[in-house]
Amino acid sequence: MLFSFFFGFGNIIYIGVLLLNAVAILSEDRFLARIGMGRNAYANVDPGFGARQPDTESVKYKLVVLINSTRTVMRAPLIVVNAAIITYLLVAG
């Protein structure tokens, strides 16, 4: 019973790490900019007269900020976590 709990919890951790890896390796030039979710899509610029302000309450804006923050903050920890998972899988099988 206890083993099945940890086995399921381990899979959840693997899925989370794989999803973080997927977000961390998204190419800004090749993928994100093409679908309008690049860093420059919502650049903090002072618009001139008559220019529209970006909608900072939209889901798309919040998703762009989340992706950029994840890519910035999680790169170094993901290297360590991936190395630990690979080592664990090699040793434990």
Does any domain span residue 2?
no
Domain, as residue range, for 83: 12-92
Any domain includes 62: yes
pLDDT in tens, 1-40: 445 555 677 888 888 999 999 888 877 777 777 777 666 6
pLDDT digits (tens, 9 = 90+) for 41-69: 555 555 666 556 666 777 877 887 788 88
d(CA 69, CA 63): 10
Q: How many domains does the chain have?
A: 1
Q: What is the pTM of this model?
A: 0.66
Residue 46 domain-assigned (yes or no)? yes
Residue 73 lies in a domain: yes
Q: Is residue 4 part of a domain?
A: no
Alpha-carbon distance values, 16 to 9, 22, 43, 64, 73 (Å): 11, 10, 29, 19, 15
83 lies in a domain? yes
Asked, for residue 6, whether it belongs to a domain, the answer is: no
Task: Indicate whether 63 belongs to any domain.
Answer: yes
50: left (phi over 0), alpha (psi -120 to 50) or beta: left
The Cα 56–Cα 75 span in angstroms is 25
